[in-house]
Structure 1
């Protein structure tokens, strides 16, 4: 998955990762099976003037 989606992992400011969480001996790992870049520009709002 790393080789296939490397550009997404490195070039995106935010990611949605789907996978299975594994907990063992005080550590938590995520075994990802899907990664999707999130578009943060659509979440941005214009500044407000509260005067």
Structure 2
């Protein structure tokens, strides 16, 4: 089970990339995850620019 295997990762990461299959039924949507990867948000920050 992905939750048990990656529990600490789920709880400690500020952002995650989750790969899986979306299931829709009876007004609900679920994601059956098969891969979880932490994202480093600092690497996504863009450098400031001079837009004058």
Q: TM-score range by the shorter chain?
A: 0.7 to 0.9
Paired residues in the alignment total: 51
Using the size of structure 2 for normalisation, the TM-score is 0.81
Gaps of 5+ in 1: none
CA distance in 2, matches of 1:26, 1:39: 33
CA RMSD of aligned residues (A): 1.4
Gaps of 5+ in 2: none
Whichever structure has more helix as a proportion of its residues is 2
